[in-house]
């Protein structure tokens, strides 16, 4: 893609063409350090999900802080990460289709890759192609814990695992689940109770499978909204927690108890381009440069919030520009001035840009290409 950006390291925010995607490095590093220090003293294993930032350099920072590897949904992103030296990856998605499975066989020869299965047909296909390519594919069984996820029903899981162990081209590694509805529960205590109830079922299933003589090496459960809940569960050891969005955070996440401790590390830089009325301003960001959906409820359009601009009553996002209405006439905001906005959903906002401007003390410290944004 053509780029006419002339911004250099050391530039100020005012020198950056807008809209632009910013990473506050101090906030990013604080968030990573906070979670890493917590997991060093707890019964849990951090396996941060990469669907938001999609940057191997951040993944390396997470691993250096104590993460035991990474997780992700996109197979193409996994290929990119392996080429960047990240070798322990849980792919939380079923891999189907001859060509993609051939790619998986190749990737499995170069890294510790685990993929998800929830159907015997897919498992047989994986096994057959693995044998044809002289490799074994590591698999985890996805358990159905949500109405909006894939997975095997708990009642069928033991039989399903038994059938998997008959397939010579795959290694059964363990169990994983994603109970997405937990992200909509604001109360930390209620969220914990719901999550522990699911973990009780997983613990019993793990015991039942091991009673069959089958080792369950991995249990992966929980995400950012249970980052400080899952490791407190007493009946499973070293559960892999796929917390990911904590590195950037967003304003919707701050509405959940336990997530307000993370600083806003991702913002969109925008510039005022018009003042059509004293109580109105137009900025050069829109839905094409900042997501408008809630991070926990994609049907709920809530829009972004300004970081350091008081008195905003309404933000109306169009595709390319946004109309901001103030509670009362505002004479401080001037055409040409730059402001930062906090997305309601950082994961999807991050995919809208080709690069990140990494900021420290108001200056550009680094520019990171967002190569992973289109890898599926």
Answer whether residue 269 is part of any domain: yes
Q: What is the pTM of this model?
A: 0.96
In a domain, 66, yes or no: no
Residue 92 falls within a domain, yes or no? yes
Q: Exposure string (b/e) for 20-57, b if CB count within 10 Å is 16 or more?
A: bbbbbeebbbebbebbbebbeeeebbbbbbbbbbbbbe
Percent residues over pLDDT 90 in the chain: 97
Query: Binning pLDDT at 50, 70 and 90, where does residue 3 land?
Result: low
Q: How far apart are CA 365 and CA 116, in angstroms?
A: 38
Q: Does 123 share its domain with 233?
A: yes
The two structure tokens encoding residue 312: 């905003």
Residue 183 lies in a domain: yes
332 and 225, same structural domain? Answer: no
Q: Does residue 50 register a pLDDT over 80?
A: yes
Q: Which domain holds residue 280?
A: 13-20+261-374
Same domain (yes/no): 272, 191: no
What average pLDDT does the segment 216-240 reach? Answer: 98
301-310: average pLDDT: 96
The answer to whether residues 246 and 259 touch, using CB atoms and an 8 Å cutoff, is: yes
Confidence of residue 1 (pLDDT cuts 50, 70, 90): very low
Shared domain for 157 and 282, answered yes or no, is no
Residue 73 domain-assigned (yes or no): no
Indicate left, alpha or beta for 174 from its phi (over 0: left) and psi (-120 to 50: alpha).
Answer: left
Residue 347 lies in a domain: yes
The pLDDT value given to residue 2: 45
DSSP string over 163-223: HHTT-TTEEEEEEE---GGGGG---HHHHHHHHHHHHHHHHHHHHHHHHTT----EEE---
Q: Are residues 267 and 215 in the same domain?
A: no
Q: In this predicted structure, what is the pLDDT of residue 6?
A: 82
Residues 232 and 126 in one domain: yes
Residue 27 lies in a domain: no
CATH code for the domain of 222: 3.20.20.10
pLDDT of residue 5 exceeding 90: no
CATH code for position 267:
2.40.37.20
The model's pLDDT over 243-296, given as tens digits with 9 standing for 90+, comes to 999 999 999 999 999 999 999 999 999 999 999 999 999 999 999 999 999 999
| Average pLDDT in the chain | 97
Confidence of residue 84 (pLDDT cuts 50, 70, 90): very high
- Residue 249 is assigned to a structural domain of this protein: no
Considering the domain architecture, whether residues 201 and 338 belong to the same structural domain is answered as no
> How many structural domains compose the chain?
2
Asked which of 5-9, 144-148, 180-184 is least confident by mean pLDDT, the reply is 5-9
> Based on the domain organization, do 215 and 268 belong to the same domain?
no
β-strand partners of 282: 274, 323
238 and 280 in one domain?
A: no
Residue-wise pLDDT for 211-223, tens only, equals 999 999 999 999 9
- Confidence check: pLDDT of 358 > 80: yes
**Residues 306, 365 share a domain:** yes
Note whether 123 and 235 are same-domain residues: yes
**Same domain for 292 and 222?**
no
Each residue's pLDDT tens digit, 309-343: 999 999 999 999 999 999 999 999 999 999 999 99
């Amino acid at each position: 893609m053509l780029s006419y950006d002339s911004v250099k390291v050391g530039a100020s925010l005012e020198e950056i063409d807008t809209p632009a995607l910013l990473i506050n490095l101090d906030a990013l590093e604080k968030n990573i350090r906070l979670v890493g220090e917590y997991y060093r003293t707890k019964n849990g294993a951090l396996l941060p999900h990469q669907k938001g930032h999609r940057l191997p350099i951040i993944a390396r920072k997470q691993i250096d802080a104590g993460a035991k590897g990474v997780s992700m949904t996109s197979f193409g992103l996994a290929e990119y990460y392996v080429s960047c030296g990240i070798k322990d990856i849980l792919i939380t998605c079923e891999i189907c289709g001859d060509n993609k499975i051939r790619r998986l066989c190749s990737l499995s020869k170069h890294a510790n890759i685990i993929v998800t299965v929830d159907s015997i047909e897919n498992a047989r296909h994986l096994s057959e192609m693995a044998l044809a390519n002289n490799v074994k594919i590591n698999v985890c069984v996805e358990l159905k814990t949500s109405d909006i996820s894939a997975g095997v029903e708990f009642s069928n899981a033991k039989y399903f695992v038994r059938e998997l162990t008959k397939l010579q081209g795959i290694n059964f590694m363990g169990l994983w689940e994603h109970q997405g509805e937990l992200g909509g529960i604001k109360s930390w205590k209620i969220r914990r109770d719901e999550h522990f109830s699911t973990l009780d079922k997983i613990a019993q299933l793990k015991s039942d499978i091991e009673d069959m003589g089958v080792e369950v090496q991995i249990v992966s459960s929980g995400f950012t909204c249970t980052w400080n809940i899952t490791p407190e569960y007493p009946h499973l050891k070293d559960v892999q927690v796929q917390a990911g969005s904590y590195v950037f955070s967003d304003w919707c996440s701050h509405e959940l108890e336990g997530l307000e401790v993370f600083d806003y590390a991702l913002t969109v830089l925008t510039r005022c381009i018009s003042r059509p009325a004293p109580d109105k301003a137009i900025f050069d960001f829109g839905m094409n440069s900042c997501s408008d959906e809630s991070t926990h409820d994609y049907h709920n359009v809530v829009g972004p919030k300004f970081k350091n601009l008081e008195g905003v009553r309404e933000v109306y996002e169009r595709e390319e520009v946004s109309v901001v209405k103030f509670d009362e006439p505002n004479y401080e905001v001037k055409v040409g001035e730059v402001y930062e906005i906090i997305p309601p959903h950082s994961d999807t906002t991050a995919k809208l840009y080709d690069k990140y401007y990494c900021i420290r003390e108001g200056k550009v410290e680094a520019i990171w290409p967002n190569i992973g944004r289109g890898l599926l």
